[in-house]
Chains A and B, each alone.
Chain A
């Protein structure tokens, strides 16, 4: 086994072999969406870390980095943190979720409603 240390940060990012499908009409949109979703994930990580800090402070009044690294939520805390993440995801995914809702019922453009209201 080699003694030279791995550049694990760079290696973690390795691309999987196989052409990546393009999902959007413009390839740049695929790149930007990847950045966006990664950022969405990292904000969730920060929020979870803050939740850890809050819980530890509630419990002990003072904390160390080790306390944070070794924190493991009990069943109730695990559920509450999961619910927090879910609520956060629903909030940031509001656009697609509402797009889905609007598929359920075809709505007329607001211009049409505006014209209608003028007449009634």
Chain B
């Protein structure tokens, strides 16, 4: 949209344009305005100022490094240490970190102010269909979810301000808009919508009998899949009860009645037999696990996957020797500055190798690109290339495999 021959301006949609479901917090005028500021601030940080990091690297940091060491940096960690001393990168990083912290503060203020109402709404929705929410207090929050509060979200996915509340889920849900500047759409479900879209093209006419969504948090990526396959039985698991409580209520209010939310750790899926599911997936979850948990989860996923079934993991692109070290460094920012401590190591893993080790044959594996599917009349297309908000762009790689090969 532009007026008077002005150049088109890249502006985030207003927070009031998001779709409200049955457990959405209702923003006051100023709470919405805070998210509007952050959404646009994030756009400026990634789009306008982001390329300055590369400039600082090329013009200042790299020449100094070469002078001091007599060689090029050997990995992304050396680049990070050198860049952390650069004044431009310092102010950019400080801005981005503050933006994330403000997103948490602003989201929590909005949610906690109306927590009584949100809890009551969630409880009413959850009690109306008690069979599709199964919480198990014996499930421990694993160390990889508890070591730090992931993406600077106080209490992470599992924190409670009082027993039985939904504050963690509600805060996570509402703030995705600010973090991604609306890039995930009106329900922050552009990733799930993209999966539903992708499978329809990839395997037209297929209706999976059962789907397992691992690390579902508030279910925003499984609800569009559930709505696309209303006949499919869907199991969505996570270790965090407050997120599941919220996610179940959210799914109910959006009409996704075929998802059962279960508090469970995916490292042990012994409850399910070999070949129980036709589709096993994670979306932006593997980077929030750990070095030993990740292969265990994939092994378990392989075991419960049926012959001809689909395993799919949506993630930001893996680092490879072909990816320039600078790009690896900038993609690593969240690992060290936004409490994603497994991010860096995870993105350097040989995911294909791990999937093969779990049982897949090499020729059964594939990698494909997936872009968020959102209402483009209101919500923006996620930028790629230099202006991309690395680590949170609404563009992913899907690491997948058809067990025993894709059925004809």
Q: Do chains A and B interact in one complex?
A: yes
What residues of chain A have their CB less than 8 Å away from a CB belonging to chain B? 1-2, 6, 8-9, 11-18, 20-21, 23-24, 30, 33-34, 37-38, 41, 44-45, 48-49, 52, 68-69, 71-73, 75-76, 78-79, 81-83, 85-86, 89-90, 93, 95-97, 99-100, 103-104, 106
Closest-by-CB residue of B relative to A78 is B14
B152 contacts chain A at the CB level, 8 A cutoff:
yes
Contact B154 A100 (CB under 8 A): no
Contact B163 A2 (CB under 8 A): yes
Closest-by-CB residue of B relative to A15 is B154
Contact B30 A45 (CB under 8 A): yes
Which residues 351-399 of B have a CB within 8 angstroms of A? 377-378
Instruction: Give the chain A neighbours of B17 by CB distance below 8 A.
Output: 78
Cβ-neighbour of B29 out of A16, A44, A69, A82 (below 8 A): A69
Instruction: Give the chain B neighbours of A89 by CB distance below 8 A.
Output: 37, 40-41, 44
B113 contacts chain A at the CB level, 8 A cutoff:
yes
Alpha-carbon distance A38/B36, docked complex (angstroms) = 14
Contact B33 A48 (CB under 8 A): yes
Alpha-carbon distance A34/B96, docked complex (angstroms) = 11
| A–B pairs, 29, beta carbons within 8 Å | A1-B164, A6-B161, A6-B162, A8-B109, A8-B112, A11-B161, A12-B106, A12-B108, A13-B105, A14-B155, A16-B104, A16-B339, A18-B147, A34-B101, A44-B33, A48-B30, A48-B37, A69-B29, A76-B1, A78-B13, A78-B14, A79-B11, A82-B9, A86-B9, A93-B49, A93-B95, A96-B52, A100-B56, A103-B59
Contact A82 B162 (CB under 8 A): no
A107 → B minimal CB distance (Å): 12
Contact B102 A38 (CB under 8 A): yes
Instruction: Give the chain A neighbours of B155 by CB distance below 8 A.
Output: 14
Which of A72, A78, A95, A106 counts the most chain B CB atoms within 10 A? A78
> What number of residue pairs across chains A and B have CB atoms under 8 A from each other?
171
What residues of chain B have their CB less than 8 Å away from a CB belonging to chain A? 1, 9-14, 16-17, 28-30, 33-34, 36-38, 40-41, 43-44, 48-49, 51-52, 55-56, 59-60, 84, 87-88, 90-95, 97-99, 101-102, 104-106, 108-109, 112-113, 115, 119, 147-149, 152-156, 161-165, 336-337, 339, 341, 377-378
Contact B29 A71 (CB under 8 A): yes
Contact B40 A103 (CB under 8 A): no
Cβ-neighbour of B34 out of A9, A18, A41, A52 (below 8 A): A41
Cβ-neighbour of B36 out of A18, A37, A48, A99 (below 8 A): A48
Instruction: Give the chain B neighbours of A2 by CB distance below 8 A.
Output: 162-163
Contact A33 B105 (CB under 8 A): no
Alpha-carbon distance A99/B89, docked complex (angstroms) = 11
Alpha-carbon distance A48/B93, docked complex (angstroms) = 26
14 further interface pairs, Cβ-Cβ under 8 Å (given A6-B161, A75-B378, A81-B14): A11-B108, A16-B152, A16-B153, A18-B152, A33-B91, A37-B95, A37-B102, A69-B28, A79-B11, A82-B13, A90-B44, A93-B48, A99-B88, A104-B55
A1 → B minimal CB distance (Å): 6
B92 → A minimal CB distance (Å): 7
Alpha-carbon distance A44/B378, docked complex (angstroms) = 22
Closest-by-CB residue of B relative to A72 is B16
Alpha-carbon distance A12/B104, docked complex (angstroms) = 8
B154 → A minimal CB distance (Å): 4
Q: Which 9 A-B pairs rank lowest in CB-CB distance, beginning with the nearest?
A: A18-B148, A82-B11, A100-B52, A8-B112, A12-B109, A16-B149, A23-B94, A78-B14, A48-B33
